[in-house]
């Protein structure tokens, strides 16, 4: 009998990925269907729907779901959900599709899925602006005027939404492929059923997830070790989908995690995994999304530190922690979010404490501390700078230095408040 938290939504893992004869038949049928070209973000969302990572979703959202999520954090059936999961299309594609049609979703290389269109709805400029303000606007830009002064140029999530087509298509999907992820990240890429199986085999009940999009530095390591002390184990779950320019590729980050786990953790208390989404950089809302799909992977706790899933200075330092206190708790089996936050203050290395500490435990001054940030790590290494003592483990720094030695087309890494301590 599993001791793990149940999947979100009360329906078990809702997996839309086909296999065997059903997959072969659907692939053949898909060749004759009208095609809609999908973005990398939609591709990642599709795979998560396919594997059950986005349970209870079985496809892309209707207008009622889209609006309910933005206004109330609820799908139209009253189930908690924090961000829109939508499929956009061009005006020409929309005009060629009727309600009830089956279509093929094409990523430029292969047909990723088929979909039965149950609804199509316009996404005007005003609709996109509304989605951006609801999804991406945080305490760092307290008014819409402040937000739009910088968002179109500096927020990758806003840029993605504003570049979407003028229509959305809704309906259930049948997923035909997990793309390159199972082979490129063999041994790391896990479906929710697979992570749950590993946790069950270890007898775990309370599992904490660590979200990673940067290489693991000492602060990440410390967060994991706090989680190991209070839970049965920790799931180091890193994004292997697309990031923004200048971020470090997933295969390099995986090597860094391997080095840390092998040298600085008790392996039986740690599982490493990867998932295929693109970052939305939605800060607090994305923290909620991370907790929602980690529940599907079997995690009951989500580690939330400072500026979780943030970009620039769009969000308050601990806004992603505070939002968990503000979301609805709908009644009905599976409708509420059950993965709760493990809130941890700003962490750093303190020379006077002679170890890792946080603002809750360290009484010393800023000049006594090594402030740890993935952004700062990338900036220093990409510019050939010297890392302060205790910023990262030697094994990890060596992997990153070798990576940067081979990078010829470097992107300027901008620092922001969360990276500098301002």
Report d(CA 227, CA 158) in Å as an integer: 33
Tokens in use for 232?
A: 């049965």
Contact 256, 393 (CB under 8 A): no
Q: How far apart are CA 199 and CA 231, in angstroms?
A: 12
Helix residue ranges per DSSP H, 265-336: 284-297, 319-322
Give residue for tokens 């924090």. 82
Distance of alpha carbon 265 from its chain centroid, rounded? 24
pLDDT score at 371: 82
What structural domains does the chain harbor?
20-123+164-177 (3.10.400.10), 188-420 (3.40.50.620)
Torsion (CA) 285, 290, 292, 294 in degrees, nearest 10: -170
Nearest to 115 by CA among 131, 93, 91, 135: 93
Query: Taking the alpha carbons of 344, 345, 347, 352 in that order, is the dihedral positive or negative?
Result: negative
Residue-wise DSSP of 103-163: EEEE-SSSEEEEEE--EEEE--HHHHHHHHHHHH--TTS-SHHHHHHHHHHH-HHHHHHHT
- Active-site residue (options: 213, 285, 294, 301): 213
pLDDT of residue 214: 80
Is 242 one of the annotated active-site residues of the chain? no
Task: Name the residue with tokens 């740690």.
Answer: 270
Closest CA to 166 of 87, 102, 70: 87
Q: CB-based contacts of 120: which residues, under 8 Å, 6+ apart?
A: 89, 94, 97, 99, 167, 168, 169, 170
The DSSP-derived string for 339-386 is: -EEEE---EEEETTTTEEEETTT--S-GGGEEE--HHHHHHHHHTTPP
To the query of whether residue 214 is one of the catalytic residues in this protein, the response is yes
CA-to-CA distance for 72 and 64, rounded, in angstroms?
Answer: 11
- Residue 209 to residues 6, 255, 269, 297: CA-CA distances in angstroms? 15, 19, 12, 9
Pair of tokens at residue 340: 């709760």
**CA-closest candidate to residue 338, choices 304, 305, 298, 295:** 295
| Helix and strand totals (H; E) in the chain | 16, 15
pLDDT, one tens digit for every residue, the chain (422 residues) = 999 999 999 999 999 999 999 999 999 999 999 999 999 999 999 999 999 999 999 999 999 999 999 999 999 999 999 999 999 999 999 999 999 999 999 999 999 999 999 999 999 999 999 999 999 999 999 999 999 999 999 999 999 999 999 999 999 999 999 999 999 999 899 999 999 999 999 999 999 999 988 878 888 899 999 999 999 999 999 998 876 667 788 888 889 999 999 999 999 999 999 999 998 999 999 999 999 999 999 999 999 998 999 999 999 999 999 999 999 999 999 999 999 999 999 999 999 999 999 999 999 999 999 887 767 777 787 787 778 888 889 998 899 888 888 877 665 555 555 544 44
């Amino acid at each position: 009998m599993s001791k793990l938290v149940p999947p979100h939504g009360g329906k078990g893992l809702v997996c839309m990925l086909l296999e065997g004869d059903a997959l072969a038949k659907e692939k053949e049928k898909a060749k004759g269907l009208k095609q809609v070209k999908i973005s990398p973000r939609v591709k990642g969302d599709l795979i998560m729907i396919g594997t059950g990572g986005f349970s209870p979703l079985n496809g892309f959202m209707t207008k009622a779901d889209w609006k309910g999520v933005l206004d109330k954090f609820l799908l139209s059936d009253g189930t908690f959900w924090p961000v829109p999961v939508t499929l956009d299309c061009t005006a020409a594609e929309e005009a060629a599709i009727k309600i009830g049609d089956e279509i093929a979703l094409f990523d430029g290389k292969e047909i990723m899925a088929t979909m039965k269109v149950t609804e199509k709805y316009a996404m005007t400029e005003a609709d996109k602006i509304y989605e951006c303000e609801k999804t991406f606007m945080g305490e760092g830009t307290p008014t819409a005027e402040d937000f739009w002064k910088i968002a179109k140029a500096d927020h990758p999530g806003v840029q993605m939404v504003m570049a979407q087509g003028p229509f959305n298509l809704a309906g259930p999907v049948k997923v035909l492929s997990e793309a390159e992820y199972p082979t490129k990240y063999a041994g790391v890429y896990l479906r929710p059923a697979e992570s749950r199986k590993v946790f069950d085999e270890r007898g775990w009940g309370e599992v904490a997830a660590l979200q990673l999009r940067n290489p693991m530095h000492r602060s990440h390591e410390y967060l994991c070790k706090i989680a190991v002390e209070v839970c049965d184990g920790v799931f180091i779950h890193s994004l292997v989908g697309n990031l923004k320019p200048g971020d470090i590729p997933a295969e390099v980050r995986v090597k860094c995690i391997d080095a840390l786990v092998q040298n600085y953790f008790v392996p039986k208390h740690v599982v490493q995994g990867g998932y295929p989404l693109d970052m939305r950089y939605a800060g607090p809302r994305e923290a909620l999304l991370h907790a929602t799909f980690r529940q599907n992977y079997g995690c009951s706790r989500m580690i939330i530190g400072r500026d979780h899933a943030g970009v620039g200075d769009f969000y308050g330092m601990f806004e992603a922690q505070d939002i968990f206190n503000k979301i609805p708790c709908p009644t009905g089996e599976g409708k509420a979010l059950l993965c709760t936050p493990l809130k941890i203050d700003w962490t750093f290395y303190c020379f006077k404490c002679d170890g890792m500490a946080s603002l809750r435990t360290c009484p010393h001054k800023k000049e006594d501390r090594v402030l740890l940030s993935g952004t700062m790590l990338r900036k220093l290494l990409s510019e050939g700078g010297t890392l302060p003592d205790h910023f990262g483990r030697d094994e990890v720094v060596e992997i990153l230095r070798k990576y940067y030695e081979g990078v010829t087309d470097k992107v300027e890494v901008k620092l922001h408040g969360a990276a500098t301590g301002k």
